[in-house]
Amino acid sequence: MEVAIARDTDILFERAFAQHWRDVFQFLLAWTNDWASAEDISQEAFARLWAHRNRIDWQQPVLPWLIVTGRRLANDRFRRLARRIVAPPPPTSFDESQHARWMDVQAALRDLSALERAAVVLVTFRGMSPTEAALVLGSTPGGIRAALSRGRQKLGDA
């Protein structure tokens, strides 16, 4: 019986990984604006999901759990990095041209806050409502709408 339950949660974990890896990575890329950190923290978030697999209610959406976990992991990491004054490493998976492209995009988005970038990804790209995005981002629906508007203004597109 226990073995069967363990096998089921393994399958559910793998399914969640296949379904949500990209969503989690893209959210974290927006939140951190750093490719290598987003990759690392995505893996850490899924490692936490694995550790909590017997506690998770698999009948309910798992993505909000992953995003909240990823956001908190990212905040923890950047607090520690800020104390140590260590620059994040460059992405190792990029060739030279990809690296240059990413540097341009990263620089353009640097003026936006984490909330502004994440709001674009979750609401505009992922189709979440401002209320749903507010829950996972620790904000309010009004705060999300304001972040979307500010983000557009900051990129010179008022």
Q: Of 65, 74, 118, 147, which one interacts with other proteins (CB under 8 A)?
A: 65
Report if residue 135 touches other proteins, rule: CB under 8 A: yes
Q: Minimal distance in Å, beta carbon 87 to other proteins? A: 20
**In angstroms, how far is CA 16 from the centroid of its own chain?**
15
- Nearest distance, CB of residue 25 and other proteins, angstroms: 6
* Rounded-to-integer distance, Cα 109 and Cα 30, Å: 9
- The nearer residue to other proteins, 87 or 158, going by C-beta atoms, is 158
Question: By the 8 A CB rule, do 137 and 118 touch?
Answer: yes
Binding mask 24-63 for other proteins (x = CB under 8 A): -xx--x---------x--xx--xxx-xxx-xxxx--xxx-
Contact in structure between 56 and 49 (CB atoms under 8 Å): yes
d(CA 49, CA 39): 16
Binding mask 82-101 for other proteins (x = CB under 8 A): -----------x----x--x
Number of shown-chain residues binding other proteins (CB under 8 A) = 61
CA distance 43 to 68: 14
